[in-house]
Amino acid sequence: MIATPSPTCMLEPAFHPAGVGRDAIGLGQSAGRGLDVRHGTILTLEDISVSFDGFKALNALNLYIGVGELRCIIGPNGAGKTTLMDVITGKTRPDRGQAWFGETLDLTRMSEVEIAQAGIGRKFQKPTVFEALSVFENLELALKTDKSVWASLRARLSGAQKDRIEEVLTTIRLEGSRHRPAGLLSHGQKQFLEIGMLLVQDPQLLLLDEPVAGMTDAETEFTAELFKSLARQHSLMVVEHDMGFVGTIADHVTVLHQGSVLAEGSLEQVQANERVIEVYLGR
Amino acid sequence: MTRPISITLLAKAGPHLGRGLGALALAVLLALPLLHLLPAEHALHVSAYTLTLVGKILCYAVVALALDLVWGYAGLLSLGHGLFFALGGYAMGMYLMRQAAGDGLPAFMSFLAWSELPWYWYGTSSFLWCLALVVLAPGLLALAFGFFAFRSRIKGVYFSIMTQALTFAAMLLFFRNETGFGGNNGFTDFRTLLGFEITAPGTRAALFLCSLALLVGSLLLGWRLAHSKFGRVLTALRDAENRLMFCGYDPRGYKLFVWVLSAVLCGLAGALYVPQVGIINPSEMAPTQSIEAAIWVALGGRGTLLGALLGAGLVNGAKSWFTVAFPEYWLFFLGALFIVATLFLPKGVIGLLGKGDKS
Amino acid sequence: MPAIYPFLLSLALFLLPLTSEAGEAADFAAASPARQAQLLEHWAATPDPTRQPLLDALQHGRLAVDGARRAFIERDGRLVAAEGDAPPEGTPKKLRLNNRLRGLLATAQASHRLLAEEPEVRLAAARALQKSARPAQLSLLNASLARESDAAVRDALALALANLQLADPDPKIRLGAVRLLGETGEPLARTRLEALLAPDAERDPTVRTAAETSLAQIKRRLLFGELLGQAFSGLSLGSILLLAALGLAITFGLLGVINMAHGEMLMLGAYATYVVQLLFQRHFPEALALYPLAALPVAFLATATVGMALERTVIRHLYGRPLETLLATWGISLILIQLVRVLFGAQNVEVANPAWLSGGVQVLPNLVLPWNRLVIIAFALFVVALTWLLLNRTRLGLNVRAVTQNRNMAACCGVPTGRVDMLAFGLGSGIAGLGGVALSQIGNVGPDLGQSYIIDSFLVVVLGGVGQLAGSVLAAFGLGVANKILEPQIGAVLGKILILALIILFIQKRPQGLFALKGRVLD
């Protein structure tokens, strides 16, 4: 991949209470490799609406995520968080609206596979790993490489690739279980394996759906550290209910309610917002 | 009561004995056609019946292997593999019919008072073209069907039902006389193959050896595939297709490749089956035939290539014994086999032996 | 048609000896087959009520001839002289008629029935004569038409007459006949007119033009009937598919269980009908006509019991493993088929329609709607309504729907999921049993009965969308009508294949079927 020259300014993300400023969000160090991110936004969602049999899951939603940003999405159940991820990853087509990855890639016209190959990784709410394969093989499959049929028929791991897998195995603390079938891992280990798979996939934008659900406090803390170290290099969008976790990691928090953005800002700002208190945090 | 003991023995003996038994089986299979060439009164002579029966089972074993590739590894249970098998058989049958008919029309066409060959019979007097058809007919059909099925993400039982409907529809089509494949009776009364008398011991032995070679070749190919990254992607596809897509793999290409490969293997098996048993008719496409192949794989142990072979051998061996000894009870036995294999043997007989090769 | 003259001539010649003193029966008995034919034609042209017993005796093979070539009629096992009262000489031999004579006899019978009191009998006779009237009957038909009072019989007679008049030498009469035929919607009139329009058949241009107009009129009228007929057989096939697929829609759609033995539930239902029929024949022959009604609960209970037993013993252990369920239930179906073969034999068994299910309603001249099919359409709709009520208005239905949507949650709420599964499976199988009763009334009942329906039923469920009764109904009738419309155009087999291809293409567009709910896709 060719690295495009990227701006190196280290602006603290400027913040608009209305939360719609497109160029307003900070620029991380690494812009997308090959991805056109001139304006510093890696993901642009404008006026997105999705309805299922009359129920509006997403309603004229606008969302911008900057390069290198770590964004948390919170919201009550049914606010449209998972549908939002489905739209970004191409699983659900929006009825209306635009979705851009970088400046040039129209997500509404791409298949799920194309979107994944373009550099959006996703971790599911329920950890999904390939249970019949070993931990090592799981990572091998996720590894960023040519994923066509022909390539896989002749594929051999290079030394560098093996090193990368080993490195990630260490990061996710599964180096001792590399030959165990993934189906035998504990829930928390599966969560980490899935995160590890995202790491070797090396996407520019990571979508993480409730990544710390079912983790112990120590694991949660470790995950928070991991995510913070990932930001700047990658852009992250984390859907999470655990406010403590959100507080530790988030630059920005977006509150979804009934399919649209209710508020955006730092955690304190959001928590102080009257309407947010009303619909979500409770009085 | 000898079987359980032998099974425990086998399990204890481990992979060495397994490999030894495999080599022994191969040696016996290699010897069979040679013994058939001995004069009939010789004590070690193998009758044409036995040779044909074993040859037939070898062809079925290839089908089981092909089915195991799509079902055991990619999780696509096809209930229509009989169709691909029959298509390969019909392609070979066309050549054999042309050989038998000489310069004239095949007998069933004269019977229908047709004056010329339909266009799709063009070139079938050439053995090479028929070999190409053996590969192309099942391959292209599988490609077209698979393309549409995988594009719309038909999977699981929907896929099974669609494949069953496909083979059923094809059977109805081939039953018609106007389709030009001999209708009900199909093709029979073959005489020569490449100029050799089809019932001659030498021809039988050669066909048997070809079947064996096809089986061993498919086994090696399957083994290579299963142990490549391709095989691991298939397994991942079976267990978590969506996850795989979000890893950046396009499942359609993978499914299509293994699906077409499997269909072609079936076609080749069918092509070798027809000259050995001397007949091909639309009943080979009956849904029952295809679903029976699924029980070979399920009984042997799916996801393991040897299991598929074992299953095909066991069920067909039992079938040829039962249909002679207790024809009334064969269906009871087969039905019970379906139930027992699914309820109590999720990993098949290979699983019992405790040495299933890891997928 | 000049060929008629020599015929009339010979008729006139042979009329003379008919005035002989010997009775008609004796004449007939003594005659050669050729003369017997002439006699029958003569009788057909000049009906006489006193001849009726003789004709009946002939028709039923009760006329015998003794050594003196005198005729005797067998009554209650005794031979009675047809004329006079002489005892038979020697052993009288039964008189046998060849096929040609039988045809002529039927015509003669018809013209005698024209004299009957009851208009229905006369109507049937006139209808028969439309097909079989012979030129010698021309004046008879004219006379009958003149004195006929019943309108329907008049129409039928007029048509029979017109059929004959087409052969008249006078173009004017032929023209009248052609116009008359154009007024009708009889399939027979079409064949006659088509014959007339054949090259060299009709020379008169006016008659030809009139025949063309009449033919066009008839075709228009017949086309309507044909379309209605196709639509009806489509609906009929649809109702059968619906009965076959409805139970499947419950077990597959609601429980997610692929029951390949579902077809065998249909088969068991049909065999239950057969057994009930046997019991009625043995023990309540007077109520035999009601046996299909009695078979309904029997078939329902029998198949529901078998279904529940299967669910408890086999299928329960395979929930969540659809492909294994498919194979195991296929095994069950093999066992059931073989079991029925062993118990009842491999041959089809005879299940007869009771009188109220046989016959049909004549809606148009070329459209008869058979009663059994009408009843089955109504029955299918009734079963759908019942199922709908059961699923949407009862506690069991609520439980089934709850288990369908979220098994664990339902279990937490105290729904006995195991029992619900069993009952739902029993319900699906029982409905298949009801379908079996219906199938036994229109088709063959054999061990393989179910196999021919299973694939079609699955296609209905797939097309209709899983878990959707409305979708299944629409898909069943849609497939039925599509099948029957395609059949005459491209043949049954190609039609089926085309429909399969269409379904595959349709699923490209709507993978969830016709009526699926859209929703957030969960993993």
Task: Write out B274-288 in H/E/C secondary structure.
Answer: HHHHCEECHHHHCHH
Supply the pLDDT for residue C365. Answer: 66
Which of A117, A132, A86 lies closest to A201, judged by CA?
A117
As a whole number, the mean pLDDT across chain B is 86
Closest approach of A53 to chain C, Cα-based (Å): 6
Q: Does A15 touch chain B (CB under 8 A)?
A: no
Could A116 and B254 be called an inter-chain contact, meaning their C-beta atoms sit closer than 8 Å?
A: no
Instruction: Point out the least confidently predicted range of A273-277, C351-355, C509-513.
Output: C509-513
Residue with the bigger pLDDT between C243 and A54: it is C243
User: How far is it, in rounded angstroms, from Cα A169 to Cα A167?
Assistant: 5
Could B339 and C328 be called an inter-chain contact, meaning their C-beta atoms sit closer than 8 Å?
A: yes
pLDDT in tens, C419-477: 888 888 898 899 999 989 988 888 888 888 888 888 888 888 878 776 667 888 888 88
C368 Cβ partners below 8 Å, 6+ apart? C360, C361, C362
Q: Which of A52, A124, A126 sits opposite C520 (nearest CB)?
A: A52
Spatial strand order in the sheet of A252-257: A120-123, A205-209, A235-239, A70-74, A252-257, A260-265
Q: What are phi and psi of C75, to 5 degrees?
A: -130, 125
Q: Where does C356-478 show beta strands of DSSP type E?
A: 360-364, 367-370
CB of C94 within 8 A of CB of C51? no
What the block records as the tokens of B2 is: 């000898």
- Residues 251-290 in B contacting A (C-alpha not used; CB under 8 Å): 251, 253-254, 257
Question: Positive or negative CA dihedral for C374, C375, C377, C378?
Answer: positive
Considering only CB atoms, which chain B residues are within 8 Å of C323? 71, 77, 156-157, 160
Q: For chain B, give the percent of residues with pLDDT over 70.
A: 94
What the block records as the tokens of A62 is: 């606008």
Q: In sequence order, what are the beta bridge partners of C72?
A: C64, C81
User: How far is it, in rounded angstroms, from Cα B22 to Cα C426?
Assistant: 48
Chain C, nearest residue to A84 by Cα: C520
Q: What are phi and psi of A57, to 5 degrees?
A: -75, -40
pLDDT in tens, C84-94: 777 777 777 77
User: How far is it, in rounded angstroms, from Cα A248 to Cα A231?
Assistant: 13
pLDDT in tens, A1-26: 344 443 333 333 334 433 444 443 44
User: How far is it, in rounded angstroms, from Cα C137 to Cα C119?
Assistant: 20
Q: What is the pTM of this model?
A: 0.77
Q: Does B2 touch chain C (CB under 8 A)?
A: no
Residue with the bigger pLDDT between B68 and B18: it is B68
Task: Assign residue A232 the CATH number of its domain.
Answer: 3.40.50.300
pLDDT in tens, C395-435: 888 888 787 777 778 878 878 878 888 888 898 899 999 98
The answer to whether residue C66 scores a pLDDT higher than 50 is yes
Q: For chain A, give the percent of residues with pLDDT over 70.
A: 87
Please state the domain extents for chain C.
4-165, 226-451
As a whole number, the mean pLDDT across chain C is 80
Supply the pLDDT for residue B275. Answer: 92
Supply the pLDDT for residue C29. Answer: 78
Residue with the bigger pLDDT between C271 and C119: it is C271
Q: Which of C518, C519, C521 sits opposite A91 (nearest CB)?
A: C521
Q: Which residues of chain A have pLDDT under 50?
A: 1-32, 283
Q: Which of C518, C521, C523 sits opposite A53 (nearest CB)?
A: C518
Residue with the bigger pLDDT between C223 and C11: it is C223
Supply the pLDDT for residue C515. Answer: 52
The answer to whether residue C512 scores a pLDDT higher than 50 is yes
User: How far is it, in rounded angstroms, from Cα A80 to Cα A261?
Assistant: 10
Residue A41 lies in a domain: no
pLDDT in tens, C307-348: 999 989 988 888 778 888 888 999 999 999 999 999 998 888
Q: Give the amino acid at C337.
A: I
Could B331 and C331 be called an inter-chain contact, meaning their C-beta atoms sit closer than 8 Å?
A: no
Supply the pLDDT for residue A26. Answer: 41
User: How far is it, in rounded angstroms, from Cα C326 to Cα C337?
Assistant: 16
What ipTM was reported for this prediction? 0.84
Q: Does B161 touch chain C (CB under 8 A)?
A: yes
- Considering its fold, how many domains does chain A have in total? 1
Residue with the bigger pLDDT between B259 and C509: it is B259
Please give the torsion angle defined by the CA atoms of residues C391, C392, C398 and C402, in that order, rounded to the nearest 10 degrees. Answer: 80
Encode A77-98: b = buried (16+ Cβ within 10 Å), e = exposed.
eebbbbbbbbbbbbbbebeebe
Residue A253 lies in a domain: yes
Chain B, nearest residue to C522 by Cα: B242
Residue A108 lies in a domain: no
Considering only CB atoms, which chain A residues are within 8 Å of C518? 52-53
Chain B, nearest residue to C461 by Cα: B158
Supply the pLDDT for residue B69. Answer: 92
Instruction: Point out the least confidently predicted range of A264-278, C25-39, C355-369.
Output: C355-369
Closest approach of C342 to chain A, Cα-based (Å): 45
Which of C500, C475, C497 lies closest to C244, judged by CA?
C475
Could A52 and C518 be called an inter-chain contact, meaning their C-beta atoms sit closer than 8 Å?
A: yes
Encode B209-220: b = buried (16+ Cβ within 10 Å), e = exposed.
bbbbebbeebbe
pLDDT in tens, C285-308: 888 888 888 899 999 999 999 999
pLDDT in tens, A158-173: 888 888 888 888 888 8
List the subunits that have 3+ CB pairs under 8 angstroms with C. A, B
A179 Cβ partners below 8 Å, 6+ apart? A134, A135, A136
- Residues 183-242 in B contacting A (C-alpha not used; CB under 8 Å): 225, 228-230, 232-233, 235-236, 238-240, 242
Supply the pLDDT for residue C465. Answer: 72
CA angle C435, C308, C300 (to 5 degrees): 30
Supply the pLDDT for residue C39. Answer: 85
Find the domain containing A209 and state its range: 71-82+119-281
Give, as one character, the DSSP assignment of residue B188: E
Could B232 and A147 be called an inter-chain contact, meaning their C-beta atoms sit closer than 8 Å?
A: no
How many CA atoms, within 13 angstroms, populate the side-chain half-sphere of residue C181?
32
Please state the domain extents for chain B.
50-284
pLDDT band per the 50, 70, 90 thresholds, residue B13: low
Supply the pLDDT for residue C152. Answer: 77
Residue A205 lies in a domain: yes
Taking any CB pair shorter than 8 Å as contact, residues of chain C touching chain B are: 258, 314, 317-318, 321-328, 330-335, 337-339, 342, 455, 458-459, 462, 493-494, 496-497, 500, 503-505, 507-508, 511, 523
Alpha carbon distance, N-terminus to C-terminus of chain A: 51
Residue with the bigger pLDDT between C363 and C259: it is C259
pLDDT in tens, C262-282: 899 999 999 999 999 999 989
pLDDT in tens, B136-153: 999 999 999 999 888 877
Alpha helices by DSSP H, listed for C98-186, are 99-113, 119-132, 138-147, 151-165, 171-183
Q: Which of C517, C518, C520 sits opposite A82 (nearest CB)?
A: C520
pLDDT in tens, A190-223: 888 888 888 888 888 888 888 887 778 888 888 8
Considering only CB atoms, which chain A residues are within 8 Å of B69? none
Supply the pLDDT for residue B60. Answer: 94
Considering only CB atoms, which chain A residues are within 8 Å of C520? 52, 57, 82-83, 86, 92
CB of A88 within 8 A of CB of A120? yes
The answer to whether residue B356 scores a pLDDT higher than 50 is no
The answer to whether residue B322 scores a pLDDT higher than 60 is yes
Supply the pLDDT for residue C298. Answer: 93
